[in-house]
Amino acid sequence: QVQLVESGGGLVQAGGSLRLSCAASGLTVSSYAMGWFRQAPGKERELVARIHWIGGITYSADSVKGRFTISRDNAKNTMYLQMNSLKPEDTAVYYCAADSRLGRIVAGTADYWGQGIQVTVSS
């Protein structure tokens, strides 16, 4: 049974940093495409960043480029999202997701999802 468990969210002031973790069980993060998504109240869920199992190739949305970094630790079977220079508009519930097919991460239709974790950035 696959489980993805997010941690590291919370309340932070604008300009601050947080690191989200996504601990995986039942799958190997180095063999899956994985991504971080977020959904703010009244808005659609959006892809924030993704990492491919081939070479660990990464992609970040323009809205977070240069501020957020996606990575993974194969030994810990965990994916991370380092978030720096946080802005109030980054406030959302953040989800990690995994799928054997990169296209499903891109489309937001991944097979496996975490429960979500709240990130709140105060101004």
Low-confidence ranges of the chain (pLDDT < 70): none
Q: What is the Cα–Cα distance from 56 to 105, expressed in whole angstroms?
A: 14
Q: What b/e string do you get for 87-97 counting C-beta neighbours within 10 Å, with b at 16 or more?
A: eeebbbbbbbb
Considering only CA atoms, which of 11, 66, 4 is closest in space to residue 37?
4
Residue-averaged pLDDT of the chain:
96
pLDDT of residue 57: 86
- pLDDT tens, 48-78? 999 998 878 889 999 999 999 999 999 999 9
